[in-house]
Structure 1
Amino acid sequence: MANYTAADVKKLRELTGAGMMDCKKALEEADGDVDKAVEALRIKGQKGVAKREGRSAENGAVVSLIADDNTSGVLVELKCETDFVAKGDKFLAVADALAAHVAATKPADIEALLASEIEAGKTVQAFVDEANANLGEKIVLDRFAAYADGYVSAYMHRTMPDLPPQIGVLVEFDKENAEVAKGVAQHIAAFAPKYLTREDVPAEVVESERRIAEETTRAEGKPEAAIAKIVEGRVNGFFKDATLLGQPYALDNKKSVQQILDEAGVTLKRFTRIKVGI
């Protein structure tokens, strides 16, 4: 005869995120003691963490947290193995807790974030490992952004209606303009620029693009006298595609993003675009 109730199973599932059959088995082995069952499930889950290390975590969610006065904001990507887990309340609660921790502590980089304490005596890495154990999937935290030096806003995009946001954009302007901030963030989400300005493109990338443009032009048999001009045009085309300020604005493609900002009298200081798994 079972020494536990349906309420005990429900409570254990809420505490651990484990499946129903695992909870029933744990309660049977713990003689109905919920606390012992929680410990047993967590030990079992931690043993599975190492086994999951080699698995691919390409699903997940991007979450944001923006201060009420828009003076700061964060963007956090948390990855998992399946979309089933990604849309679950427990997974999203972990992601939100991590975003709140980033906002509160402002870590310098991912190494500092993982080593910081999110709870008394518990590092962020241990917190993520615990989620790994409780959810039964590989959980990965390896990207975040935190801004606190201007007017900060975010745009979150769902690629599927039943999933959490898969693309997140964080933008920071020199002054407040909610309408432009929203429009530019949406543009970044859609067009995925790699750099803000031409000056931000690494010299080696420009040199590679120039070399490819020249080799392509010569392979096409263009006249020698015209090659330099054609190459320059193709390199400028690369800049237009790769840099945000040079791109035609999504909401008015007759103007560049730079023109939109100039007309609004604001400067975009920096941006971060995160797409889950990419």
Structure 2
Amino acid sequence: MKYLRIGEPGSETPVALSDGKYYDLSGVTGDIDGAFLAQGLASVEGLPEIDIAGRRVGAPIARPGAVVCIGMNYAAHCAESGATPPAEPVVFYKHPNTVVGPNDELQVPRGSVKTDWEVELGAVFAKPASYLESEAEALDCLAGLVVVNDVSERDFQIERSGGQFSKGKACPTFTPMGPYLTTLDEVADPQALRLWSKVNGEARQDSSTADMIFSLAHIVFHMSQFMAFDPGDLLLTGTPEGVALSGRFPYLRAGDVSEVGIDGLGATANPVVDAK
């Protein structure tokens, strides 16, 4: 099953995608949020079909309670960033209001000259997760997986950070996501997913979640020892090499189109504009 949200910001209709057909979930839930994900959807039988042609696709989950992010989780990305691979997962936060849809505008912040893209595998929780006993429990806590662009402003993140990443991570529109949330039963192996990014149609990142330093299951288990996740929360798992920070590519600027995708999970394509 895949879940998505269709319509203008603040007025999205919850939708299920099953066997190539779209179904209106308005009679089942008001939104794709933690309360809905905690119970899930057993079947689309009896639900009305919906035509989504020409309509805006929103972020596939309603505003999450938390956006928890793991940094430096691919060895090659650590190398291009000049960092030593961490012994434990590095964590930072993004503001939930940074989440936008897969085709919405991506705003370059005022004064920014180093706005960067980062394709990431995102995981959305369906169950509370706190003090899990093992990695085996971890994936059972998840509703599904989603494509996310963890946009970063590198000057804010590194030179002006004050010692923490979030200044360069929480600017408006910095978490494009979608187009849908894919339930875990449709993903054979979260650690065998190709993920990629492009700018103006030109390849940037091209890697696999097999290259993660810490697996998805380990991250969920590990972080549950330090914080409690709620249904609807979003967890980002790091990005592979191929970002502008490497020095191999120019940073984003108004007029660009930033694309990220994961095979089988969909892709985003966000036009880049200057901050409003």
Give the alignment's TM-score, normalised by structure 1. Answer: 0.23
Q: Higher helix proportion, which one?
A: 1
Q: Which has the higher contact order (CA 8 A, sep 6+)?
A: 2
Compare CA radii of gyration and give the structure with the larger one: 1
* Structure with the higher fraction of residues in strand conformation: 2
TM-score scaled by length of structure 2: 0.23
